[in-house]
Structure 1
Amino acid sequence: MNGLQKALLSTLTLSLIACSSSPTGRHQIIMFSDQQMNSLGAESFESMKKEQKISTDHKTIDYVQCVTNALLPYVEKQEGFTTWEVVVFDSEQVNAFALPGGKIGVYTGLLKVAENQDQLATVIGHEIAHVLADHSNERMSQAQLANVGLQVTNATLNDSEYQGVAMAALGLGVQYGVLLPYGRTQESEADIVGLEIMAKAGFNPYQSIDLWKNMAKASGGNQPPELLSTHPSHNTRIADLSQKADTLSNSNAKKPMCRL
């Protein structure tokens, strides 16, 4: 890649960047359209439904849908879709997710750790918050920029005998200096935004603290150091949620009555 090609690549990259703000006012770099992200989310969700076992237990399905339905009136309407699809996957995974385009997946294993409707609402609210804050778009944009940056740097080091060492070091710097901390920021943001949603819906925000205590027990302490993780540590998460819950506990919303 010559100097002109590098300049064109850099110019093209910058021209695709759109500046945006998250629900908490944090500056974001967004490179993909809502339509692109919604299509990607829908396509991924359809693939998951074909590849993974879907629960047929109506009681469990109704319970998860009840909690989700209680949250949705307090979720800001999104561009490109008007309804949220919820699927319960029959799996021991202690997990849930939400994808652009309004796709929510909950694994039955989560219900062994999220012990009541408030704790389940904490998780689903958190996952919905990822969609509201365009976190998937942000992560993809960040990865795209990192990839372009590495390509440009590789070109400048093309004639250097230290190219391999330099690229390895830079790759490590991108991984631990940009992408992972960005993930922790997004996770903490989704915690706060999700907690606001669930509290507005009438769920008890203090149950989020119990949820993460349960998560800590379920993990058996096998969590990587916070510095090398895309998620905040359990202790950090609990402290942040406790502080936020103090400002949200007096919700005037009618308390949902979802039971498993």
Structure 2
Amino acid sequence: MKKVALALLVFLSVAACKTNPFTGQRTLNFYPNSQIFPMAFAQYDQFLGENKVVKETDQAKMIVRVGQRIASAAERWLDANGYPGYLKDYKWEYNLVDDPTVNAWCMPGGKIVFYTGIMPICNGETGVAVVMGHEVAHALADHGAQRMSAGMLQQIGAVAGNVAIQDPQKRNMFNQAYGLGSTVGVMLPFSRSHETEADRIGLQIMAIAGYNPDEAAELWKRMKAQNSQAPPEFLSTHPSNDTRISNLTQWAPLAKEEARKFGVTSFK
């Protein structure tokens, strides 16, 4: 049984890879769009039906406007870099939900929600573009499917360990050590790497859409001022605010250079 689990682990790791067009790197992904997108779309519709969606306000219209510009910029980049049709299965949708939580998120396939609680942090359209670029980047890079794939591998590793270890006391010790080690040592860094990747891709896309990438670091300065009780970075799914501010400041000029390739020389 242990050998079967390990063989399955190796097979999945080798066979289920996909290239990230923005980084050129191979990524772990067991779930094709045809499988994961319908599930995500159904969950999104259910969420909207259970929450108060804000319609026809200036903020709600801005969310849609910015989302459409960002998605269009992403498609321009993909077409220009040899990935025509990459977005054919995406069904972009952008909604503002009445909720004080300071957050926004994106489901696989381009289903995006902004909470009203994040709007003061955005502080206008360019700030919305920072967050929107980040969320669109998660969808473009298949981060949702990758997290599900990593979770599957984590579960396979746990099953293999429990099958191999016969002694109950040692099995309990393994489960405790494996749970903590695989989470802090693998899953959390994996999640942080996705957030960092989405920051960088999002910065590039927002610049191509005509929004000033310098605003990204400013938004995270506001986020830092609003949330001073963040956990240590190594225990978090996200990089620290200071790390993000430093990265975004460093990457903003590079994003502007990329935007110039598409004729964008001035920014909102």
TM-score norm. by structure 2 comes to 0.88
> Do structure 1's residue 10 and structure 2's residue 10 form an aligned pair?
no
Residues 4-43 of structure 1 deviation map (CA, whole Å, 9 limit, x = unaligned)? x333333334434412232223332111111111012102
Matched residue, 2:187: 179
Q: Flag structure 1 segments of 5+ consecutive residues without an equivalent.
A: none
Matched ranges for 1:54-203 at <5 A? 54-76=53-75, 77-78=85-86, 81-159=89-167, 161-203=169-211
Matched residue, 2:234: 227
Distance 1:118 1:13, change over 3 A: same
Alpha-carbon distance in structure 2 between the residues aligned to 1:230 and 1:45: 22
Alpha-carbon distance in structure 1 between the residues aligned to 2:49 and 2:88: 24
Distance 1:14 1:80, change over 3 A: farther
- Once the two structures are TM-superposed, the CA of residue 80 in structure 1 deviates from its matched residue by 5.3
Matched residue, 1:25: 24
Matched residue type, 1:21: T
Does structure 2 retain, via aligned residues, the 8 Å contact 1:98–1:131?
Answer: yes
Distance 1:82 1:138, change over 3 A: closer
Q: Which moved more, 1:27-36 or 1:79-88?
A: 79-88
Alpha-carbon distance in structure 1 between the residues aligned to 2:229 and 2:19: 34
- Once the two structures are TM-superposed, the CA of residue 79 in structure 1 deviates from its matched residue by 5.0
- Once the two structures are TM-superposed, the CA of residue 189 in structure 1 deviates from its matched residue by 0.2
Distance 1:47 1:78, change over 3 A: farther
Matched residue, 1:245: 252
- Once the two structures are TM-superposed, the CA of residue 222 in structure 1 deviates from its matched residue by 0.9
Distance 1:236 1:113, change over 3 A: same
RMSD (Å) for aligned C-alpha atoms? 1.9
Higher helix share goes to which structure? 2
Does structure 2 retain, via aligned residues, the 8 Å contact 1:34–1:80?
Answer: no
Alpha-carbon distance in structure 2 between the residues aligned to 1:12 and 1:61: 46
Residues 196-243 of structure 1 deviation map (CA, whole Å, 9 limit, x = unaligned)? 000011100000011000111111x11000010010001100111111
Q: Percent identity?
A: 34
Matched residue, 2:214: 206
> Secondary structure at the residue paired with 2:94?
strand
Q: Flag structure 2 segments of 5+ consecutive residues without an equivalent.
A: 76-84
Residues 232-259 of structure 1 deviation map (CA, whole Å, 9 limit, x = unaligned)? 00110011111100222354337687xx
Alpha-carbon distance in structure 1 between the residues aligned to 2:86 and 2:57: 29
- Once the two structures are TM-superposed, the CA of residue 72 in structure 1 deviates from its matched residue by 1.7
Does structure 1 retain, via aligned residues, the 8 Å contact 2:33–2:89?
Answer: no
- Once the two structures are TM-superposed, the CA of residue 56 in structure 1 deviates from its matched residue by 3.0
Q: Which moved more, 1:65-74 or 1:226-235?
A: 65-74
> Secondary structure at the residue paired with 2:178?
helix
Q: Which moved more, 1:115-124 or 1:183-192?
A: 115-124
Residues 168-218 of structure 1 deviation map (CA, whole Å, 9 limit, x = unaligned)? 011110110110000000000000000000001110000001100011111
